[in-house]
Structure 1
């Protein structure tokens, strides 16, 4: 986990296997391939959280029940860690809403269909089934496809800024990403009421 500060607000960058939640103005960011980031928020408490989970195996049978697979177990742990952390900060599980991203098919995109799914497909299926089972509404999603994603989740308006990335990158994109999360913090700072201390 890395923390950068801009105009008094933090931008937290999380890596695979990590999660973070906060009720303070700021942005949570991550880079995704076949992994999933679940962005959860409670609009009443102004609380946001994000996790970044991946799988240890590369493929799972389409006919295997999700809860019996390693995918389900690992994803469940990642989701429960994040939800419990947010509940410890004062949210009620039934007030949570979600935006989900990731699940790309980066390797072996041209494989013939079979009874097996790639990691990205398993992750996409898992997160949607999990959230439906928990009664957490999905307000936005960008799942699957042949590209990675950089995402920035803002605690100002609960927006998620998503940039799709291919194998090639450029320094211009790095600058654009920095401008994206900095602008999200600037919008949050403009919308925060002034507090007089006396």
Structure 2
């Protein structure tokens, strides 16, 4: 009888990789799901409730609408919307806000000729977590390199790797996803 080799945590068979695109927030308690994304100046937040064994990831392009944005509908590419959406989605799956642990990734300034969008995104994400009382367990933010993040929401396992800049997504999306539907409760 052949023994099956034990594979490293992120090379297990039977895992379904789900890509988290700009403007998305996804959560799951399924142990066979792995969320994955590639970030340049964008930021991804990975939240995990160790007791409920539920986790989620978002991917935002910009932190907040520019001043003078008016009362227009909040765009799903802004962190201010996606952070609330991620927390609310997790609460709907049985997580408790007091138990949430956060990991932040991305926020690079990959184009030296542009505004420091990555820095602004990283500062916004840290401030949001502090304001909401969510523990920041780990971060890999800033610099000039793109990152790939793989996150197992049911176990809270995460892996972050630097990738070649040419693989980083563009700062401005070429095709925007359909508008988000549903409601976000701001608390």
Does the TM-score normalized on the shorter chain lie above 0.5? Answer: yes
Could you give the per-residue CA deviations for residues 47-94 of structure 1, whole angstroms, max 9, x where no partner exists?
Answer: 01000001289xx89xxxxxxxx9xx9212110111111111111111
* Structure 1 counterpart of 2:117: 119
1:20 to 21, 26, 33: 26
Q: Partners of 1:133 and 1:119 in 2: how far apart? A: 21
* Structure 1 counterpart of 2:39: 32
User: For 1:79, what is the secondary structure of its paired residue?
Assistant: helix
1:162 to 151, 154, 160: 160
Task: Quote how far apart the aligned CAs of 1:10 are.
Answer: 2.2
**TM-score scaled to structure 2, two decimals?**
0.71
Which consecutive unaligned segments of at least 5 residues does structure 1 have?
1-5, 62-69, 112-116, 170-198
**TM-score scaled to structure 1, two decimals?**
0.67
| CA 55–156 in structure 1, closer or farther in 2 if over 3 Å, else same | closer
2:111 is equivalent to residue 104 of structure 1? no
- Aligned ranges 1:130-149 → 2 under 5 Å: 130-149=128-147
Q: Contact 2:20/2:35 (CA < 8 Å) preserved in 1?
A: yes
Task: Quote how far apart the aligned CAs of 1:168 are.
Answer: 5.0
2:104 is equivalent to residue 91 of structure 1? no
1:80 to 69, 78, 84: 84
Task: Quote how far apart the aligned CAs of 1:165 are.
Answer: 1.6
Higher CA-based Rg: 1
Which of the two has greater helix per residue? 1
* Structure 2 counterpart of 1:191: none
RMSD: 2.7
User: For 1:52, what is the secondary structure of its paired residue?
Assistant: strand
Q: Contact 2:104/2:141 (CA < 8 Å) preserved in 1?
A: yes
Moved over 4 A (4+): none
Which consecutive unaligned segments of at least 5 residues does structure 2 have?
1-11, 68-73, 168-187
Q: Partners of 1:88 and 1:155 in 2: how far apart? A: 15
